[in-house]
Amino acid sequence: MTQSFVLHIPDAELEPEPLAPGQIVSGTPEVTGKVVWESEDGRQVRGVWQITPGVVTDTEADELFVVISGSATIEVEGGPTLTVGPGDLAVLREGDRTTWTVHETLRKAYAINL
C-alpha cells in the first residue's frame, strides 16, 4: 500500500499461514495473518497475526508487537519469560529462539525489521 490507511484490527480478515510441523510442540495451533504494509526493499513489514491455543517454537525476527486479544507465555531461550495479553507491547530480538504457549487465541499487530 502506498497511501495512508486505517485498519480495525479486531475485525481484520486474515489468511492461513501454516506452521511447519516441526514448530508444533503440542496441541493443534493454527496461524493466520495479513501483511498490511511492506517497504519497497522488503526489509520492513507491518501486519496482523493470530494463533490459536497450543505450544509452538520459533526463531524470531527484530519485532515489536502489541497484543490486541488473547494471551500467551513466550519463553526466550537463555532470556526472560514474557507473559502477554491485551494492550501489552513486546519486543523480540532477531535470532531469539522462543517457545510460545498460547492460552487463548492471540491476535497481535506487528512491525518487523528484516
Residues 6 or more apart whose Cβ sits within 8 Å of residue 67? 84, 85, 86, 87, 88, 90, 106, 107, 108
pLDDT (tens digit, 9 = 90+) per residue, 5-18? Answer: 999 999 999 999 99
pLDDT (tens digit, 9 = 90+) per residue, 15-64? Answer: 999 999 999 999 999 999 999 999 999 999 999 999 999 999 999 999 99
DSSP helix, strand, coil percent of the chain (3-state; round to 5): 5, 60, 35
Q: For 65-92, what is the mean pLDDT?
A: 98
Q: Residue 1: what pLDDT?
A: 54
Nearest C-alpha neighbor of 105 from the set 69, 58, 73: 69
How big is the CA angle at 52 (ends 48 and 56), to the nearest 5 degrees? Answer: 95
DSSP, collapsed to helix, strand or coil, labels residue 89 as: strand
Q: Residue 108: what pLDDT?
A: 98
* Distance (Å) of CA 99 to CA 56, 76, 82: 6, 7, 10
